[in-house]
Amino acid sequence: MNHSNLYFRSFLLLLALVSIAFIWVLLPYYGAIFWGAILATVFHPLHRRLLEKLRGRRNLAALLTLLIVILIVILPLIVITTSLLQEGAAIYQRMDKGEINFGNYFNQIVGIFPPWVHDMLGRLGINDIFSLREKLAQGALKAGQVVASQAVNIGQNTFQFLVSLGIMLYLLFFLLRDGVNLARNSKQLIPLSDDHQQHLFRKFTTVVRATVKGNILVAITQGALGGLMFWFLGIQGALLWGVLMAFLSLLPAVGAALIWLPVAVYFLVTGAIWQGVVLVLFGVLVIGLVDNILRPLLVGKDTKIPDYVILISTLGGLAVFGLNGFVIGPLFAALFIACWDLFPSAIKMNTEA
């Protein structure tokens, strides 16, 4: 009996060590693996329908699903990213040459402030307006440098990007083809009841699909609308601002307003009244309406997570995991809520046992 216990503990130690080592080996490509699993979860319903129409031909169904993912996700993303980096690099060059000077824009806004505003700023301890202007200009220049450096880094790391993309697509094919069997086998390794397993797996797939499809659809819609309005108003770098609005719209409640609202304020205080009014009305009635209508329908309705939890978990996920965090954060929040929902039944089962 002692030998059996020792062997079992030794096996658990060995299992933990090899698992940690395997995860450590996979860490350089965790992003590719993560998005391969996410895309497999999102496109599983499509793959299942194709599998039914193709009468169980798993390889062909997985291949067709993979081609659809490449056409509607990968290729548009590559094109938009390339155009974004080119436009960002061009704006940085103009900032470096002095053609775009955010310090001057700041001066124009501050210059029309009435005296009581300057007095209030002084009481708040903001005495050196010119120092604040220089910090703003330097911050904008550094942001442009980041965008330009990212363009250079992507050009230099093309091989690494292609390897990660290849790993993601390769893994996605097999996850689509064998995902059902893998999920069934993984359930056998989880020491929970069937009802608890079903609840957690259902919550996982629901949150992933709702977060990815819902948030990305809202982001694309808001970014496209904002970018088109910026282009209509003649604002330089409309594509760049549109993509930034799309990215920021991943944050509920605040989102795209962090971009269009300061621009609208600048228009209003510099005398471009009709442009400012149009942008405010469009931002509130169109861009904001998209967020207020689509997000609850596509995200909150399925995940059943309060908006404030989604906001906080999204911000925390972005801070910890980078761009991947807009999925990981709400996913952890949903699993946290699901586990606590199951806690009373788990106590009851343990008491009865």
Per-residue pLDDT of 232-274, as tens digits, reads 888 877 777 888 888 877 776 667 888 888 888 878 877 788 8
The pLDDT of residue 102 is 56
Q: Residues 44, 125: one domain?
A: yes
| Rounded Cα gap, residues 321 and 283, in angstroms | 30
Q: Residues 246, 125: one domain?
A: no
Please say whether the beta carbons of 318 and 325 come within 8 A.
yes
pLDDT, the chain, mean: 76
Q: Which of 23-27, 124-128, 220-224 is least confident?
A: 124-128
Q: Residues 64, 155: one domain?
A: yes
Q: Residues 229, 329: one domain?
A: yes
Q: Residues 320, 264: one domain?
A: yes
* Closest of 177, 219, 238, 196 to residue 314, by C-alpha: 219
Domain membership flag for residue 47:
yes
The pLDDT of residue 97 is 65
The pLDDT of residue 17 is 92
Could you tell me which residue, 323 or 71, shows the higher pLDDT?
71
Q: Residues 200, 334: one domain?
A: yes
Domain membership flag for residue 242:
yes
Please say whether the beta carbons of 119 and 113 come within 8 A.
no
Q: Residues 34, 77: one domain?
A: yes
Give mean pLDDT, residues 320-348: 79
Domain membership flag for residue 13:
no
Segments forming the whole domain that contains residue 96: 28-189
Tokens 């980041």 label which residue?
146
| Rounded Cα gap, residues 122 and 156, in angstroms | 48
CB 217: neighbour CB atoms within 10 A? 15
Q: Residues 36, 185: one domain?
A: yes
The pLDDT of residue 144 is 52
Q: Residues 39, 151: one domain?
A: yes
Domains in the chain, number = 2
Domain membership flag for residue 22:
no
The pLDDT of residue 68 is 93
* Closest of 218, 200, 163, 212 to residue 345, by C-alpha: 200
| Rounded Cα gap, residues 141 and 139, in angstroms | 5
Q: Which of 3-17, 99-113, 163-177 is least confident?
A: 99-113
Domain membership flag for residue 302:
yes
**Rounded to the nearest 10 degrees, what angle do helices 238-248 and 75-97 cross at?**
120
Q: Residues 293, 323: one domain?
A: yes
Decide if pLDDT at 64 tops 90.
yes
The pLDDT of residue 67 is 94
| pTM for the full predicted model | 0.69
CA 287 to chain centre: 18
Decide if pLDDT at 37 tops 80.
yes
Q: Which tokens is 147 given? A: 């965008």
